[in-house]
Amino acid sequence: MVGKRKPVSDIDAQSVKNADTAEKKGYDGGSGPGGYIAAIRAAQLGFKTAIVEKEKNLGGICLNWGCIPTKSLLRASEVYRLIKRSKEFGIEVKGASFDIQSIVKYSRNVVDKLSSGVTYLMKKNNIKVHQGFGKLAGNSTIKVAGDKEEQEIVSKHIILATGVRARNLPEIEADGDLIWNAQHAMMPGKLPKSLLIIGSGAIGIEFASFYSTLGVDVTIVEVKESILPLEDQDISNLAQEIFTRQGIKIYTNSSVKALTKSKNSAQVLLSSGESKEFDRVIVAVGVQANIENIGLENTKIKLSPSGFIEMNEWYETSESNVYAIGDVAGPPCLAHKASHEAVICVEKIAGKSAHALKKECIPNCTYSHPQIASIGLTEEQAIKGGYDIKIGKFHSNFNGKSIALSETEGLVKTIIDKKTGELLGSHMIGAEVTELISNFALAKQLEGTDFDIKSTIFPHPTISEMIHESVLAADDESLNS
């Protein structure tokens, strides 16, 4: 909640937590990247601030069961992959092996460090943390049910940041045994020999990459025509080629028609008519908003047809003084979007000059091997939008640093408005592209043009030179391909 300025004694800045589904469906929290950043910015601006969080560890899904632990797992698999390839670099490693429980432990240690860091930030900024399940009782009151007692908190402004949880399929519900959601997949007791992943968005692809690298026989089933359906078609196509070469089996235009569980495996009937057996199944078919039992019925707050909280560009809901940010306010469901919305929302409440978020400037990242990143319009979207476009492409096998790293499978594709030189979109696959995409994010935020990137000096040898070359290639001016 964000409300009156200090030294008024009532609570002013809080993110409310949906806890009812947490025990059944996994971790979610009001202290995630939206909630805790909103609280910190509110405190910086002189508001008395508090957070309601049911879970013991602060940080929400992203820190505890999403962004951070998955990247830790993927880092471990990357190290193993490089060890297996070490002979290419003139280094021979014999008898390399891994222990899945040690990998999981490493991941959880990273989580603990960062969660402790959020706790420290709460104390540093004098933010009160209320442990319990928060429920709206109007537009200025939160009832918090803790382990021992119920508290009532009054505030002038309330920010909802309750996040999302994994969606299940009809009759294919995660049970933590044979059928996993993302949380289960992060903490396997042992590695399965075979694994089916239903859904090929970022979550599904990252788990496919992790488990395949560790030797699991991985199959992906995607109902749409391409994997990574939100990405540009060229990137999706190249990604599928690379993953297939890595041994991952991919079925597009396909779905699971039936799943029968036995003691140690699941028999799956695909829409193609094929029947296959898998040790484990991961359901990665999207998310749904945590809006149950948080008291929305006590307010005028409206929901979108897809079940997210409706709000305007300043995150105001249809209930005065109640705001919604982050995943619960709708896609794209990304931690960095939630944090940015948190700052905009609080600064608007504080009366500061705020700029509305531009969704076309939100980068997307998938941390598989190879990595995938994008921002702005795809080629198809640009054409449908009526733009007269030019496209530049540059492949990793022409980039000196990529060759030195022996990471030559990749592409940077840039979409430019012919009339204005505006950077409409950029789409990447390859080594470290999740780091490179911020170059385009900054360029778009500053309303840079193709001329600005052409005129920029990129250090050599770096993978970032591919950005320069892709823009040059849009005018047939590439110097290294």
Catalytic residues: 460
| Cβ pair 88, 58 in contact under 8 A | no
In whole angstroms, give the CA distance from residue 138 to residue 442: 40
Query: Known binder of ligand: residue 53?
Result: no
Instruction: Quickly list H helices, 355-456.
Output: 379-384, 400-405, 433-445, 450-454
In whole angstroms, give the CA distance from residue 471 to residue 453: 7
| Cβ pair 58, 29 in contact under 8 A | yes
| Cβ pair 278, 195 in contact under 8 A | yes
Residue with tokens 């995607």: 222
Q: How far is CA 54 from the centre of its chain?
A: 22
Omega before residue 305 within 30° of 0, cis: no
Query: Known binder of ligand: residue 43?
Result: no
In whole angstroms, give the CA distance from residue 380 to residue 389: 11
Angle between helices 433-445 and 465-473 (to 10 degrees): 60
Torsions phi, psi for 15 (to 5 deg): -110, 130
In whole angstroms, give the CA distance from residue 1 to residue 140: 9
Query: Known binder of ligand: residue 204?
Result: yes
Residue with tokens 């390859």: 430
In whole angstroms, give the CA distance from residue 416 to residue 414: 6
Query: Known binder of ligand: residue 203?
Result: yes
Strand order in the sheet with 141-145: 133-136, 141-145, 150-154
Query: Known binder of ligand: residue 206?
Result: yes
E strands present in 284-378: 287-289, 322-324, 364-366, 371-376
The dihedral through the CA atoms of 97, 100, 104, 107 has a sign that is positive
Query: Known binder of ligand: residue 201?
Result: yes
Query: Known binder of ligand: residue 327?
Result: yes
Residue closest to 53 by CA, chosen among 28, 22, 27, 30: 30
Query: Known binder of ligand: residue 163?
Result: no
In whole angstroms, give the CA distance from residue 121 to residue 118: 5
Q: Is 5 helix (H, G, I), strand (E, B) or coil?
A: strand
Q: Is 437 helix (H, G, I), strand (E, B) or coil?
A: helix
The greatest distance separating any two alpha carbons of the chain, rounded to the nearest whole angstrom, comes to 69
Query: Known binder of ligand: residue 189?
Result: no
Annotated binding-site residues for FAD read: 71, 134, 327
Annotated binding-site residues read: 71, 134, 199-206, 222, 286, 327
Annotated binding-site residues for NAD(+) read: 199-206, 222, 286
